[in-house]
């Protein structure tokens, strides 16, 4: 990397939109992952032309460029391993078009998910991917990671809702990908390829998104299970029966204990709880699906099955799941939540086995793990709770992560369901996708021959996530 010409970048974006003070660089050195590495400069482009100019300059001078939205990624996607330019995209936040008649909208990448939904609501529409970070995460970040959320069981992930986009390539060229149509059989689906590419292939400057009509009615239920196997069977039976719940969430015993301890919610002391929701345009249609789920729950030994369409009661039912994340942070003194092995997806029938395996591996490696998540989509969230100051805990976590992913791959699951790879999951990802890594590298080489766009991520990530960069914690004897 040649030395950075800050003045040149300042001329492109203006004084107000560039920072190279150590304090700012320190803040932009991390995201919601465990890693940290300083950029050389943070730049906030306000237009496509500015993005093009920055990339032309960076490409010519072989300077890494790391696109960043809200910086809420959990796998280190926006951590600049080799320094370079962090491209903060939040200024490009205009909603450009809303076309209900075409069931689509066009937005800039810095638009916040919930802000888009707020603007779509009067039209009777919404943007279906529902990440729990929706209040702050940007569309650009969601595209980068192919984000989804608790409604992915019905609506899919961001990739399913992206029709097209405009992308600035590494050499500064602007290309239009995809179309304005729901079906597209016109050659390579390059817009879909960009989704989940984590800023390694181009910088998205405009996205065409599929929107959905807002459901008019919804109902929610809860069922308790004495064994994880029963809960797992219930989940896969619901999906196999052709029911399309808008939410199908699992909480394991550690999760239940954490919520009860931290929030006094008095959830039953059982092996697993499943929360389900159905939505639709008529009460009859929703009731039909809800009744099917109730029946399937009972058949799989679900107890205490409760269903409601009262908004307050639905909020109360979901409170346990909603408050799980903060509860884990308060699970036990000196145990801190780290985002590692946090979002694997497995075949539906393997959910219970995977959750059991996670606990077995955690115990063997002397760490605490909880399992929960959007299991209706096969997605399991885990959090590793550990004393982040202890070297041995990190070593245990590293071993556990490796063992968990080996198991996940063995049963046909995938490394990440919705948070992406970054480099926290690099080693496991490379193991899982070993047959296609060369293909990925060729695509990267074709689009970014100088390797300036978010280097050392995905297939090019370091072999050891623990030593790839400094961690953002103080660790004794490390």
Partner 1 sequence: MTDKNKSKTKGKHLKKYEPQMNMCIRCAYCFESCPIVKETQWDTDGARGKVILSYGLLTGDLEPSQYIADKFFRCTFCRDCVERCPSKVDILDIISSARAELVEAGFASETHKHIVDNIKNTGNIYGDTEVISQERDGKTPLFIGCQYLGRPNKTKKYIKILEKLGFEPLVSKEICCGFPMEVLGFREEYEEHKKKFKKYFPHENAITLCPTCTVFLNEGHNIDAKHVLQVILEKIPKANLGLKVTYHDPCDFSRGLKIIEEPREILKKLGVEIVEMEHSRENSRCCGGGGGILMTDQKLSDNIAKKRIYEALETEVEILVTSCPTCETVLKKAAQEISEEEGKTISVRNIEDIIWMGLKNVEAS
What does the binding site for partner 1 look like in residue numbers (CB under 8 A)? 19, 21-24, 26-28, 30-32, 36, 44, 70-72, 88, 90-91, 133, 135-136, 325-326, 329-330, 333-334, 336-337, 339, 388, 466-467, 470-475, 478
CB 337 to partner 1: min, Å: 6
3-class DSSP state of 304:
strand
3-class DSSP state of 333:
coil
Between 346 and 371, whose beta carbon lies closer to partner 1?
Answer: 371
CB 133 to partner 1: min, Å: 7
Between 3 and 474, whose beta carbon lies closer to partner 1?
Answer: 474
Between 30 and 145, whose beta carbon lies closer to partner 1?
Answer: 30
CB 326 to partner 1: min, Å: 4
CB 465 to partner 1: min, Å: 12
Between 62 and 334, whose beta carbon lies closer to partner 1?
Answer: 334
What separation in angstroms does the CA of 448 have from each of 84, 191, 414?
16, 16, 26
Q: Please work out, in degrees rounded to the nearest 5, the angle formed at the alpha carbon of residue 128 by the alpha carbons of 310 and 166.
A: 160
Between 259 and 296, whose beta carbon lies closer to partner 1?
Answer: 259
Between 134 and 378, whose beta carbon lies closer to partner 1?
Answer: 134
The gap between the terminal CA atoms of the chain, to the nearest Å, is: 29
CB 291 to partner 1: min, Å: 34
Between 436 and 467, whose beta carbon lies closer to partner 1?
Answer: 467
CB 390 to partner 1: min, Å: 12
Pairing mode of beta strands 174-178, 336-338: unpaired
CB 468 to partner 1: min, Å: 10
Nearest to 434 by CA among 469, 395, 463, 401: 463
What separation in angstroms does the CA of 420 have from each of 73, 252, 401?
8, 23, 15
Between 279 and 469, whose beta carbon lies closer to partner 1?
Answer: 469
Cβ atoms of 58 and 99 closer than 8 Å: no
Q: Which two tokens stand for residue 68?
A: 């960043």
Q: Which residues pair with 107 in a beta bridge?
A: 95, 207
Question: Rounded to an integer, what distance in angstroms lies between the CA atom of residue 451 and that of residue 355?
Answer: 38
* Tokens 């908004």, located at residue: 311
Run of H or E residues at 280: strand 272-280
CB 104 to partner 1: min, Å: 26
DSSP per-residue codes, 39-104: -SEEE---SHHHHHHHHHHHHHTT--EEEESSS--SS-TT--TT--EEEE-TT---EEEEEGGGTE
CB 4 to partner 1: min, Å: 19
Nearest to 204 by CA among 45, 343, 7: 45
Between 30 and 279, whose beta carbon lies closer to partner 1?
Answer: 30
């Amino acid at each position: 990397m040649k030395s950075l010409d800050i003045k040149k970048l300042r001329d492109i974006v203006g004084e107000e939109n560039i920072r190279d003070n150590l304090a700012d660089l320190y803040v932009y050195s991390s995201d919601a992952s465990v890693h940290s590495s300083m950029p050389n400069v943070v730049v906030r482009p306000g237009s496509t032309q500015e993005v093009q100019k920055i990339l032309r300059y960076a490409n010519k001078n072989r300077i890494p460029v790391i696109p960043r939205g809200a910086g809420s990624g959990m796998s280190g996607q926006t951590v600049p391993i080799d320094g370079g330019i962090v491209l903060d995209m939040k200024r490009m936040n205009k909603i450009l078009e809303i076309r209900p008649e075409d069931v689509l909208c066009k937005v800039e990448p810095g638009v916040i998910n919930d802000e888009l939904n707020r603007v779509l609501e009067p039209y009777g529409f919404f943007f279906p991917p529902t990440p729990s970070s929706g209040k702050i995460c940007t569309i650009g970040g969601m595209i980068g990671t192919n984000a989804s959320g608790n409604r992915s069981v019905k609506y899919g992930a961001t990739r399913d809702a992206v029709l097209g986009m405009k992308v600035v390539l590494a050499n500064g060229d602007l290309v239009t990908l995809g179309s304005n149509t729901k079906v597209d059989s016109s050659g390579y689906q390059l817009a879909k390829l960009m989704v989940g590419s984590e800023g390694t292939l181009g910088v998205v400057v405009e996205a065409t998104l599929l929107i959905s009509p807002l459901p008019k009615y919804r109902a929610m239920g809860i069922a308790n299970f004495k064994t994880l196997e029963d809960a797992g069977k219930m989940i896969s039976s619901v999906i196999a029966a052709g029911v399309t719940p808008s939410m199908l969430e699992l909480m394991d015993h550690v999760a239940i204990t954490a919520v009860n301890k931290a929030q006094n919610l008095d959830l039953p002391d059982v092996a697993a709880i499943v929360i389900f929701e159905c939505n639709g345009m008529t009460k009859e249609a929703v009731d039909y699906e809800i009744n099917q789920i109730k029946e399937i729950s009972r058949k799989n030994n679900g107890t205490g099955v409760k269903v409601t369409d009262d908004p307050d009661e639905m909020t109360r039912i979901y409170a346990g799941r909603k408050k799980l994340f903060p509860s884990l942070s308060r699970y036990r003194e000196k145990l801190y939540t780290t985002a590692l092995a946090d979002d694997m997806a497995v075949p539906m029938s393997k959910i219970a086995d995977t959750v059991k395996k996670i606990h077995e591996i955690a115990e063997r490696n002397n760490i605490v793990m909880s399992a929960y998540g959007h299991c209706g989509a096969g997605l399991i969230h885990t959090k590793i709770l550990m004393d982040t100051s202890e070297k041995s805990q990190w070593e245990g976590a590293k071993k556990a992560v490796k063992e968990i992913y080996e198991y996940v791959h063995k049963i046909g699951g995938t490394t990440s369901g919705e948070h992406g790879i970054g480099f926290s999951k690099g080693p496991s990802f490379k193991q899982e996708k070993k047959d296609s890594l060369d293909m990925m590298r060729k695509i990267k080489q074709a689009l970014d021959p100088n390797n300036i766009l978010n280097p050392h991520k995905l297939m090019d990530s370091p072999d050891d996530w623990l030593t790839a960069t400094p961690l953002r914690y103080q660790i004794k004897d490390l």
